[in-house]
Structure 1
Amino acid sequence: MPENSDLKVLKNVVGGELVEAASGATYDVVDPTTGAVYAAAPASGAEDVDRAYAAAAAAFETWGRTSPKERSEALLKIADAIDARADEIVAVEVKDTGKPIGLTASEELPPSSDHFRFFAGAARVLEGKSAGEYLPGHTSWIRREPIGVVGQVTPWNYPLMMMIWKIAPALAAGNTVVLKPSDTTPASSVLLAEICQEFLPPGVLNVVTGDRDTGRLLVTHKTPQMVSITGSVRAGMEVAGAAATDLKRVHLELGGKAPVIVFDDADLEAAAEAIATAGYFNAGQDCTAATRVLAGPRIHDDFVSALTEQARTLKTGMPDDEDVLFGPLNNPDQLARVSGMVDRLPDHANVEAGGGRADVAGGEQGYFYQPTVLSGLRQDDEQIQSEIFGPVITVQRFDDEAEALRWANGVEYGLSSSVWTRDHARALRMSRDLDFGVVWINTHIPFVSEMPHGGFKHSGYGKDLSMYGLEDYTRIKHVMSFLGEG
Structure 2
Amino acid sequence: MTTALRRLRNYIDGEFRDAADGRTTEVVNPATGEAYATAPLSAAADVDAAMAAAEAAFPAWRDLIPAERQKVLLKIADRFEERAEELIAAESENCGKPLALVRSEEIPPMVDQIRFFAGAARMLEGRASGEYMEGFTSIIRREPVGVCAQVAPWNYPMMMAVWKFAPALAAGNTVVIKPSDTTPASTVLIADIIGSVLDELGHPRGVFNVICGDRETGRLMVEHKVPAMASITGSVRAGMQVAESASKDLKRVHLELGGKAPVVVFEDTDIPKAVEDISVAGYFNAGQDCTAATRVLVHESIHDEFVAALAKAAAETKTGAVDDEDVLYGPLNNANQLKQVKGFIERLPAHAKIEAGGEQVGDKGYFFAPTVISGLKQEDEIVQQEVFGPVITVQSFADEKQAVEWANGVEYALASSVWTKDHARAMRMSKTLDFGCVWINTHIPLVAEMPHGGFKKSGYGKDLSAYGFDDYTRIKHVMTSLDG
Normalised to the residue count of structure 2, the TM-score between the two structures is: 0.98
Structure 1: any 5+ residue segments left out of the alignment?
Answer: none
Structure 2 residue matching 1:64: 3-state secondary structure: helix
Matched to 2:182, the amino acid is: T
Task: Supply the distance in 2 between the matched residues of 1:126 and 1:431 (Cα, whole angstroms).
Answer: 30
Matches within 5 A, 1:235-250: 235-250=238-253
Match of residue 255 from structure 1: 258
Match of residue 19 from structure 2: 21
Matches within 5 A, 1:293-372: 293-359=296-362, 364-372=363-371
Match of residue 419 from structure 1: 418
Matched to 1:379, the amino acid is: Q
Match of residue 455 from structure 1: 454
Q: Post-superposition shift, 1:198?
A: 1.6
Match of residue 87 from structure 1: 85
Task: Supply the distance in 1 between the matched residues of 2:125 and 2:414 (Cα, whole angstroms).
Answer: 27
Matched to 1:173, the amino acid is: A
Matches within 5 A, 1:428-439: 428-439=427-438
1:360-417 deviations in Å (ceiling 9; x for gaps):
xxxx210000000000110000000000000000000000000000000000000000
Task: Supply the distance in 1 between the matched residues of 2:297 and 2:75 (Cα, whole angstroms).
Answer: 45
Task: Supply the distance in 2 between the matched residues of 1:442 and 1:143 (Cα, whole angstroms).
Answer: 41
Matched to 1:131, the amino acid is: S
Task: Supply the distance in 1 between the matched residues of 2:303 and 2:252 (Cα, whole angstroms).
Answer: 45
Matched to 2:303, the amino acid is: H
Match of residue 376 from structure 1: 375
Structure 2: any 5+ residue segments left out of the alignment?
Answer: 199-203
Task: Supply the distance in 2 between the matched residues of 1:126 and 1:251 (Cα, whole angstroms).
Answer: 20
Matched to 1:22, the amino acid is: A
1:44 aligns with 2:47: no
Matched to 1:292, the amino acid is: R
Matched to 2:154, the amino acid is: W
Matches within 5 A, 1:191-270: 191-200=189-198, 201-270=204-273
Matched to 1:107, the amino acid is: E
Task: Supply the distance in 2 between the matched residues of 1:123 and 1:355 (Cα, whole angstroms).
Answer: 47
Matched to 1:211, the amino acid is: D
Task: Supply the distance in 2 between the matched residues of 1:440 and 1:476 (Cα, whole angstroms).
Answer: 32
1:108 aligns with 2:111: no
Structure 2 residue matching 1:203: 3-state secondary structure: helix
1:182 aligns with 2:180: yes
Task: Supply the distance in 2 between the matched residues of 1:150 and 1:96 (Cα, whole angstroms).
Answer: 24
Task: Supply the distance in 1 between the matched residues of 2:422 and 2:438 (Cα, whole angstroms).
Answer: 15
Task: Supply the distance in 1 between the matched residues of 2:242 and 2:395 (Cα, whole angstroms).
Answer: 34
Q: Post-superposition shift, 1:6?
A: 2.2
Task: Supply the distance in 2 between the matched residues of 1:245 and 1:304 (Cα, whole angstroms).
Answer: 49
1:167 aligns with 2:146: no
Matched to 2:473, the amino acid is: T
1:95-129 deviations in Å (ceiling 9; x for gaps):
01000110110000000111110000010011111
1:189-240 deviations in Å (ceiling 9; x for gaps):
0100110012223000000001111011011111100000000000000000
Task: Supply the distance in 1 between the matched residues of 2:117 and 2:94 (Cα, whole angstroms).
Answer: 27
Task: Supply the distance in 2 between the matched residues of 1:392 and 1:190 (Cα, whole angstroms).
Answer: 31
Matched to 2:431, the amino acid is: R
1:268-292 deviations in Å (ceiling 9; x for gaps):
0000000000000000000000000
Q: Post-superposition shift, 1:4?
A: 6.1
Q: Post-superposition shift, 1:5?
A: 6.2
Match of residue 289 from structure 1: 292
Q: Post-superposition shift, 1:297?
A: 1.1
After superposition, the CA RMSD in angstroms is 0.9
Segments of 4+ moved more than 2 angstroms: 3-6
Task: Supply the distance in 2 between the matched residues of 1:5 and 1:141 (Cα, whole angstroms).
Answer: 62
1:69 aligns with 2:61: no
Normalised to the residue count of structure 1, the TM-score between the two structures is: 0.98
Matched to 1:123, the amino acid is: A
Task: Supply the distance in 2 between the matched residues of 1:333 and 1:22 (Cα, whole angstroms).
Answer: 28
Task: Supply the distance in 1 between the matched residues of 2:123 and 2:226 (Cα, whole angstroms).
Answer: 28
Structure 1 residue matching 2:368: 3-state secondary structure: coil
Structure 1 residue matching 2:197: 3-state secondary structure: coil
Task: Supply the distance in 2 between the matched residues of 1:101 and 1:241 (Cα, whole angstroms).
Answer: 39
Q: Post-superposition shift, 1:34?
A: 1.1
* Identity between Structure 1 and Structure 2 (%): 64
Structure 1 residue matching 2:402: 3-state secondary structure: helix
Match of residue 398 from structure 1: 397
Task: Supply the distance in 2 between the matched residues of 1:119 and 1:29 (Cα, whole angstroms).
Answer: 31
